[in-house]
Structure 1
């Protein structure tokens, strides 16, 4: 992910290019994969467990295809901003940590990913995830209160204030830091390995970029799933009455529902993040290549 050559020979992304490419990739990925996010979130709420196919079937029966997109607006907006901030932050951290040849070791890539995850969680992820989760939680009620993204956001802000918008900040920061660290480290390491075995100057085929991104998504899911479950519970509508903090939430899930509950929603999240990794990195590389006037590296 690099574009202009410096005196040291390493190429770095222009911040604006990183922001534009990341924002575009995030918006497209969020809309394409949203039904899997809807199913994952619904399956992680407390109460009776529902299989992913059961959730899809019941939602389609009761509310049609549009039901699978409840809260989509919040995620599309949030994900586009998140991806823009993520790639911008990661590229800046990565460039600062790269060696003279522009290579980034796995430990340094991990550190850059952690930094990017914390920045994105504060600026974009927590507010959008909180609103999305509350909209999905509300949509399963017989008579939903929220009439859409704007009404839901204003209602949550009016009734719960900034604390309501930032529900679950700590688990979101932990999840996003882990997500970005694992995903970027896996992607960067695999990409550098593939490029190391390719002919000098050879552009990686789109299918290879998609595949590397998909593998990065796969690894990310299984390593960060418990944090995702705790995050969803802490952002649900009745979280305040059930959990005093994230650690209490995790303890109650473990004690009352068992350790397997921490991997509830793995299938839809796995589907989303494998597709997400492929879509996001592919679109990012393509847009970077387009706006910087070069072929993606």
Structure 2
């Protein structure tokens, strides 16, 4: 039986496996997410006059000027987020797959169906992650991070100063980010798995195949969704003030604004740390998720 057609398990097993996979990935890859956010938020030389010329320069300056622990600043929010986020991603992907197979009258997945299922799972996932993402962005930003004592303090101050709905600032951009990433991720995984040797024929084949497929899928998803991720970061880092028009509101008009003012390349700010995280990170996610699901199948 191929990895694409393995027996489905009840929702609780998918959810728990996704949660374990998500926490595993964030513990390994989080510093790259901090670097990515800093580079994405930078406009010109920034308020302080300190510019990051790239990923390594940003990494060195954070460690030198703020200390290595800053690379894990705001990790509590992602840790709390990763369990429900990744759990929702994989569980929703499997459940939506069942819905679409039934709707289209087919018994197994295809690549177009994997893309559609992934996109729908990404939309579902977005509603879970937006408040956590907003808190994470505010804590990671050099200028605003010092205003908050903890993720909880950050959330309380956002609600107090900007209103409860402010926790969902950037929802539309987050929808685009997750729809595009998940469509690319799951669609490419399906295709790559079909091209790789049968996992049963090679020692450690399942882990190797999942690492390759997940890493390539993560890279493809990152290429597709980075512009919407840049916009999401800027929207969520903007404090909403009543009566003041916001520069960044909707994704595609904001994409045009950034491209016009900073050049098309600015839409891929933070791409290197992002792809270094979500490429291998996508592999880690798939390896851990598959291993957990296989374990649960073995005890059924």
Q: CA offsets, 1:151-176, max 9 Å, x none?
A: 11211122222322111100100110
Q: 1:75 aligns with which of 66, 73, 78?
A: 78
Q: 1:171 and 1:142, CA in 2 relative to 1: closer, same or farther beyond 3 A?
A: closer
Higher mean C-alpha deviation, range 175-184 or range 60-69: 60-69
1:39-188 alignment to 2 at 5 Å?
39-47=35-43, 48=45, 49-50=51-52, 51-98=54-101, 102-122=107-127, 124-137=128-141, 140-141=142-143, 144-188=146-190
Q: How many matched pairs? A: 286
Cα distance between partner residues in 1 of 2:6 and 2:209: 23
User: Do the aligned partners of 1:13 and 1:91 also contact (CA within 8 Å) in 2?
Assistant: no
Aligned to 2:268: 263
- 1:46 Cα deviation (Å)? 3.6
TM-score, structure 2 normalization: 0.87
Structure 1 gaps of 5+ residues are: 4-8
**SS at structure 1 position matched to 2:146:** coil
Q: CA offsets, 1:117-162, max 9 Å, x none?
A: 010001x22111111111112xx13981101112112111222223
Q: CA offsets, 1:166-196, max 9 Å, x none?
A: 111001001101111110111122223336x
Aligned to 2:8: 12
Aligned to 1:292: 297
- 1:210 Cα deviation (Å)? 0.8
Structure 2 gaps of 5+ residues are: 46-50
TM-score, structure 1 normalization: 0.88
**SS at structure 2 position matched to 1:141:** coil
**Could you say what the CA RMSD is over the residues aligned between the two structures, in angstroms?**
2.7
- 1:238 Cα deviation (Å)? 4.3
Cα distance between partner residues in 1 of 2:110 and 2:120: 15
**SS at structure 1 position matched to 2:163:** helix
